Amino acid sequence: MAKTYGNLINGRWMDSPGGGTIKSVNPANTDDVVGTVPASTKEDVDAAVKAARDAFGYWRLVPPPKRGEILFRAAELILKNKEELGRLVTREMGKILAEGLGDVQEAIDMAYYMAGEGRRLSGETVPSELAAKDCKSVRVPVGVFALITPWNFPTAIPAWKLLPALIGGNTVVFKPSSYTPVAATRLVELLVEAGVPDGVVNLVHGSGEGVGEVLASHHGIDGVSFTGSSAVGERLATLCSGLDKEVSCEMGGKNPIIVMDDARLDLAVEGCIWGAFGTTGQRCTAASRIIVHEKVYDRFLDIFIKATRRLRVGDGLNEETQVGPLINESQMKKVLEYIDIGRSEGARLITGGRRLCEAEYAKGYFVEPTVFADVTPAMRIAREEIFGPVAAVLKARDLDEAIAIANDSEYGLSSAIYTQDVNKSAVAERDLDAGIVYINAPTIGAEIQLPFGGIKKSGMGHREAGGRGGAIEMFTRWKVIYRDFSGRLQKAQIEE
């Protein structure tokens, strides 16, 4: 019998009065039910937003270093439970165990980092043009945040939002993906165990349409931090634009890797395999376009195909597996549809292309790692986010053409180039139109101490994660303070 998990509202775990439930299943074996959670209603959202509003008055006044101590304890607890959580991530989402553990490690890294931010939330102190007057800027919390997350990083992405929101002094209502609600619940349980006070973090399960939209547009919400598809992000931004809310969205990608004629091909192939097929291609930063210099195109393809064919697909909990299942049936159907589209557009399918459903695959959503060659920039498989194990290989005459193809996209999240020429790498670094550029590394693998996010359809509002311009910008506002201690009226800019 699968375990039942509840919502967390004002420090109490509870069912939804609506009585509906959502079943979370293992995408490698749909007979395996990971847990059930409430299919919440508007009443749950109202109660959670009220709890967060009530707790905000207290939490905003807790000194940031004290908030940081709670986050530090959370980091220690997540670390202590890393193995159990990593296995849960793999069982619920499907990524291979090494990546499940990596997902949790990202949450740990973020917890330690944001705990430290509690002593660094600095502003500016500048001189005044007037005597006996102070001028400074300080960071203040935004208020109550709605946090809405996808399924592909079940603990990392929630941690990327929860922890900076908390250190900034905000309270939150968190709606995780209904495909990975159990991992999200375990993370919240650990935050509670670390000492997050009642009402500061509230968790409401449910679908995007049933709960996410009601939450984001709720009059009691001051800010929305969303990660997911561009279609939903754009809808939320429109919905919230007239409602006086801060909205930040991290969305999709169609990320290119350029392989130059002087690149180390062994390294480039290894990077492209990891970039395209890591997490079964279900990363916003997945390398779905590989743009290869014409001089090494055939040689690259030959090595790349052989390496793709060697990949072992299977249950992520099995140690030999390198590529796990897709998250659900609709995602699997979408990937198979794109494979048909690629074929009908005239791209050359050189390996993969099939659903795997025999024996060990019978109860899961498995698709073979797939490579299309001779893809042209106008084809849909070169333009649209597929979010699965499908790589489109394109040919370019030179660096300029490769960069032009890379930039010819509605998206602009991550990008990469393999070259041994320092000048070419510098040109790519300057001219690739994306939030992230990797040199001699694939498009995936961001570290938490720098801002994360993209341009165009990939991101709007503030960036995530650490560093200057990172999530602290999302979760705090600037307030400027002038204090006059001259004891008389002094007028700035006015000559007397």
Residues designated as active site: 250, 284
CB-side neighbour CA atoms (13 Å) of 6: 14
Closer by beta carbon to ligand NAP, 168 or else 388: 388
User: By CB under 6 A, is residue 149 in contact with ligand NAP?
Assistant: yes
User: By CB under 6 A, is residue 213 in contact with ligand NAP?
Assistant: yes
Helical H segments across 60-138, by residue range: 64-80, 82-93, 97-117
User: By CB under 6 A, is residue 413 in contact with ligand NAP?
Assistant: yes
> Count of residues binding ligand NAP (CB under 6 A)?
29
CA proximity to 382, closest of 447, 165, 373, 153: 373
Closest residue to ligand NAP using C-beta atoms = 208
User: Which residues lie closer than 8 Å to 365 by C-beta, 6 or more apart?
Assistant: 27, 94, 325, 326, 327, 328, 329, 331, 332
Interface residue with ligand NAP, options 129, 209, 319, 495 (CB under 6 A): 209
Select the span of 63-71, 231-239, 351-359, 477-485 touching ligand NAP (CB under 6 A): 231-239
Closer by beta carbon to ligand NAP, 92 or else 385: 385
User: By CB under 6 A, is residue 235 in contact with ligand NAP?
Assistant: yes
CB of 446 to ligand NAP, least distance (A): 9
Q: What is the dihedral of CA 133, 138, 142, 148, to 10 degrees?
A: 160
Interface residue with ligand NAP, options 24, 202, 227, 415 (CB under 6 A): 227
- Output the CA–CA distances (angstroms, integers) from residue 238 to 242, 245, 325, in the order listed: 8, 11, 34
Closer by beta carbon to ligand NAP, 121 or else 148: 148
User: By CB under 6 A, is residue 250 in contact with ligand NAP?
Assistant: yes
Closer by beta carbon to ligand NAP, 152 or else 443: 152
Select the span of 105-113, 127-135, 173-181, 471-479 touching ligand NAP (CB under 6 A): 173-181
Interface residue with ligand NAP, options 34, 251, 313, 373 (CB under 6 A): 251
Interface residue with ligand NAP, options 177, 321, 419, 476 (CB under 6 A): 177
Closer by beta carbon to ligand NAP, 296 or else 460: 460
Interface residue with ligand NAP, options 253, 316, 442, 461 (CB under 6 A): 253
Select the span of 36-44, 249-257, 296-304, 352-360 touching ligand NAP (CB under 6 A): 249-257
Residues 377-396 that bind ligand NAP (CB under 6 A): 385, 387
- Output the CA–CA distances (angstroms, integers) from residue 348 to 392, 394, 395, in the order listed: 9, 11, 13
Q: What is the dihedral of CA 71, 77, 82, 83, to 10 degrees?
A: -170
Q: What are phi and psi of 405, to 5 degrees?
A: -65, -45
User: By CB under 6 A, is residue 217 in contact with ligand NAP?
Assistant: no
Amino acid at 393: V
In angstroms, rounded to a whole number, what is the distance separating the alpha carbons of residues 286 and 445?
10
The 441-470 site mask, x for binding ligand NAP (CB under 6 A), equals -----------------x------------
CB of 224 to ligand NAP, least distance (A): 9
Cα maximum dimension of the chain: 89
Amino acid at 132: A
User: By CB under 6 A, is residue 315 in contact with ligand NAP?
Assistant: no
Joined together, the tokens standing for residue 419 give 């070259």
DSSP annotation string for 203-266:
E----IIIIIHHHHT-TT--EEEEES-HHHHHHHHHHHHTTT-EEEEE----EEEEE-TTS-HH
User: Which residues lie closer than 8 Å to 417 by C-beta, 6 or more apart?
Assistant: 257, 258, 259, 260, 402, 424, 425, 428, 432, 437, 438, 439, 440
Closer by beta carbon to ligand NAP, 181 or else 271: 181
- Output the CA–CA distances (angstroms, integers) from residue 364 to 86, 90, 182, 319, in the order listed: 20, 13, 19, 17
Q: What residue ranges bind ligand NAP (CB under 6 A)?
A: 148-152, 175, 177-178, 207-209, 212-213, 216, 227-229, 232, 235-236, 250-253, 284, 385, 387, 413, 458
